[in-house]
Chains A and B, each alone.
Chain A
Amino acid sequence: MDEALLRSLTPTVIGVLVRRGADFAAAEDAVQDALVEAVRGWPAEPPRDPKGWLVTVAWRKFLDATRSDVARRRREEHVDAEPAPGPASEVDDTLQLYFRCAHPSLTPSSAVALTLRALGGLTTRQIAQAYLVPEATMAQRISRAKRTVSAVRFDQPGDVATVLRVLYLVFNEGYSGDIDLAAEAIRLTRQLATAIDHPEVAGLLALMLLHHARRATRTAPDGSLVPLAEQDRRRWDTGLIAEGVGILQAALARDRLGEFQAQAAIAALHADAPTADETDWVQIVEWYDELVRLTDSPIVRLNRAVAVGEADGARAGLAALAALDDTLPRYTAVAAHLHERDGDLATAARLYAEAALRAPNLAERDHLTRHAARLNALLNAALNARRSGAPPPRLL
């Protein structure tokens, strides 16, 4: 196999094809194809005239490609000439795609990847970047997901709750890199809300808008967490809040309450308070009671304990907390917060440090560590003051 000969012939053969009327890119492609054939066939049967052979094969490849191109163009022109599909059928197709992408036979992560690919139109690379995995891994995830759902028959409508769960997962991923998954989730949920009339779809859309409205204030420029009570409310997006509240009120009016509507109601009460102190905690506790009834989730009960602590005082919050399993995620952080409000700084400092060790992400760990450090500094100052006989510094 004479590779040097092949390389030296390549430009000549491309030249011949271009002279015969092929454009450069097509000629180069055709010659590459011919070279592949040469590599395969020549060791067994070398031609007497290598250049003539290459020109003949490359020209045939070029004609094949052009013919299939022409056929494709004809098909495309044909489709173009057809009347546009009516809006109804378009909606049905989109809906079917939503149910297909969120099919219960898929794992949550596959459903998310497929949704972003098929409905969001993101490239595999973009999705891989957003989830910080190699592109090959994401490509496999998506093609497995496609294979899984291609066998599924769609003769009955899917479960809206599954679709909503997948969209909520996308939203909760937030953003990383150049793909804003939260905005993407809102876009897709808006699209779903126009295709399907369902109070929980509206509830989820309202919930997303209300959370998104506060997004800019949730973290400081250095990436540290800013708790709700300390957020700069003037920077909340009032347009998004108004839209979210409007959508939520219309959904609630239909009297088919679901968990997304209840969560959105809580978010709306937070968004509605001009200052943190004016938050209507009593009503928030009532919505948490609804959520407990709807979901019976231990995480909801934990959040409810926080709300009870605000509405009825730290002691009531601690009592609500005492009924829960202390291995719940963020249980220790909630306990620390309530003990601090109750004035037991030593216990709170210990619990904040413990909660930091269990934090699921860096921002939260740093946040809790700072709380522990702040309380320990206060406690040490109080101790030193007592030793020196000076009046104790004011706590909090």
Chain B
Amino acid sequence: MAKYLLLKHYRGAPDPVNNVPMDQWTPEEISAHMRYMHDFAARLEGTGEFVDAQALAPEGTFVRYDGEGRPPVTDGPFVETKDLIAGWMVIDVDSHERAVELAGELSAAPGAGGRPIHEWLELRPFLTAPPTITE
């Protein structure tokens, strides 16, 4: 088994195919989208492949050490970043193929017009502890 991170992006990733901003969906379309994500997570719990899922707020702040006795430097609450992470899901699956398959399914969540949004998800394997046998 190997763990994979499915990363959703606010910005930075290529645009989804069905590229209508969420605030222009109907409330029903938003509900359908949320239900899809929820059902997806519930199904993975059922198959024993679910590890974690969290959503992140769009505001992020970069923080940096600014020397002894000085407060950390921040770039302010409204960051201009090219890349913003919207949330993640962690899965624990038998193969890379299975991880790709699930990411594909998650990317098919319905959006405007009830059609799949075809969103780009970033799929990253976890680095793990070494196995018992290496030499």
Which residues of A approach B to under 8 Å, CB–CB? 107-110, 112-113, 131-134, 136-138, 140-142, 144, 171-174, 176, 182, 211-212, 215, 218, 225, 227-228, 270, 359-365
- Are B135 and A137 in contact, with the CB atoms below 8 A? no
Chain A minimum-CB-distance residue to B46: A140
Q: Is B47 an interface residue (CB 8 A)?
A: yes
Cβ–Cβ < 8 Å partners of A172 in chain B: 131-133
Choose one: A107, A131, A134, A173; the contact of B50 (CB below 8 Å).
Answer: A134
Q: What's the Cα separation between A132 and B127 when bound, in Å?
A: 13
Main secondary structure of the interface of B (DSSP, over half): loop
- Closest residue of B by beta carbon distance from A231: B135
Q: Please list 13 pairs of residues, one from A and one from B, whose beta carbons are closer than 8 Å in the complex, sorted by A's number.
A: A108-B94, A109-B92, A109-B94, A113-B48, A172-B132, A174-B130, A176-B129, A227-B135, A228-B135, A360-B125, A360-B128, A361-B130, A362-B127
For residue A174, which residues in chain B have a CB less than 8 angstroms away from its CB?
129-132
Contact check, B48 vs A140: say whether CB atoms are below 8 A apart: yes
- Residue ID in chain B nearest A172 by CB atoms: B131
A265 to B50, CA, bound (A): 40
| Distance of A172 from chain B, by nearest CB (Å) | 5
Contacts of A141 in B (CB 8 A): 47-48
Report the separation of the CA atoms of residues A355 and B45 in the bound assembly, to the nearest whole angstrom: 35
Question: B133: which of A211, A361, A364 is its contact (CB, 8 Å)?
Answer: A211
Q: Which residues of chain B have C-beta atoms less than 8 A from A360's C-beta?
A: 125, 127-128
A136→B135 contact, CB < 8 A: no
- Which residues of B does A touch, CB under 8 Å? 1, 3, 45-52, 92, 94, 125, 127-135
For the complex with contacts A144-B46, A362-B127, 11 further pairs of A-B residues with Cβ separation under 8 Å are: A107-B94, A112-B1, A133-B51, A134-B50, A137-B92, A172-B131, A228-B135, A360-B127, A361-B130, A363-B129, A364-B130
A-B contact count (CB 8 A): 79
A132-B3, A133-B92, A227-B135 as given contacts; A363 in contact with B48, CB under 8 Å: no
Tell me the smallest distance from the CB of A171 to a CB of chain B, in Å: 6
**B132 — which chain A residues lie within 8 A by C-beta?**
171-174, 182, 211-212, 215
Q: Main secondary structure on chain A at its contact with chain B?
A: helix
**Chain B residue, CB-CB nearest to A142:** B48
Contact B129 A361 (CB under 8 A): yes
Among B51, B127, B131, B134, point to the contact of A137 (Cβ < 8 A). B51
Known: A109-B1, A133-B51, A137-B48. A225 touches B134 (CB 8 A): yes
Rounded to whole angstroms, the CA-CA distance of A182 and B130 in the bound complex is 13
Residues from chain A with Cβ under 8 Å of B135 in the complex: 227-228, 270
Q: How far is the CB of A374 from chain B (nearest CB, A)?
A: 19
Residues of A within 8 A of B52 (CB): 134
Do A140 and B45 touch across chains, with their CB atoms under 8 A apart? yes
Q: Are B48 and A110 in contact (CB under 8 A)?
A: yes
**The 9 residue pairs across chains A and B that have the minimum distance between CB atoms:** A141-B48, A109-B1, A174-B132, A228-B135, A140-B48, A172-B131, A363-B130, A361-B130, A362-B127
Report chain B residues within 8 Å CB of A112. Answer: 1
Establish whether residues B47 and A140, one from each chain, have CB atoms under 8 Å apart when the complex forms: yes
B51: contacting residue among A108, A134, A140, A182, CB under 8 A = A134
Q: How far is the CB of A388 from chain B (nearest CB, A)?
A: 36
Identity of the chain B residue whose Cβ is nearest the Cβ of A303 in the assembled complex: B135
A359 to B128, CA, bound (A): 10
Q: Which residue of A lies closest to B3 (CB)?
A: A132
Within the complex, the shortest CB–CB distance from B90 to chain A, in Å, comes to 9
Q: A133-B92, A176-B129, A225-B130 are in contact. Are A144 and B3 (CB under 8 A)?
A: no
**For A270, what are the chain B residues with a Cβ–Cβ distance below 8 Å?**
135
Q: In the docked arrangement, what's the CA distance between A172 and B52, Å? A: 24
Residue of chain A at shortest CB distance from B50: A137
User: Cβ of A212: which chain B residues have Cβ within 8 Å of it?
Assistant: 132
- A361 close to B128 (CB less than 8 A): yes
Q: With a CB–CB cut-off of 8 A, which chain A residues contact B127?
A: 359-362, 365
Given the complex, which residues of B lie within 8 Å of A131, measured CB to CB?
A: 1, 92
On chain B, the residues within 8 Å of A182 by CB distance are 132
A200 CB to closest chain B CB, in angstroms?
A: 17
* B48: contacting residue among A138, A218, A365, CB under 8 A: A138
A164 vs B9: C-alpha distance in the bound complex, in angstroms?
43
Central interface residue in B49, B125, B131, B132, by most chain A CB within 10 Å: B132
Residues of A within 8 A of B45 (CB): 136-137, 140
Residue of B45, B50, B92, B130 ringed by the most chain A CB atoms within 10 A:
B130
Bound-state CA distance A354–B52 (Å) is: 31
A171 to B131, CA, bound (A): 9
Complex: how many Å from CA A225 to CA B135?
11
Give the chain B neighbours of A359 by CB distance below 8 A. 127
**Among the interface residues B45, B48, B49, B92, which one has the most CB atoms of the partner chain A within 10 A?**
B48
Q: Chain B residues with Cβ under 8 A from A137's Cβ?
A: 45, 48-51, 92
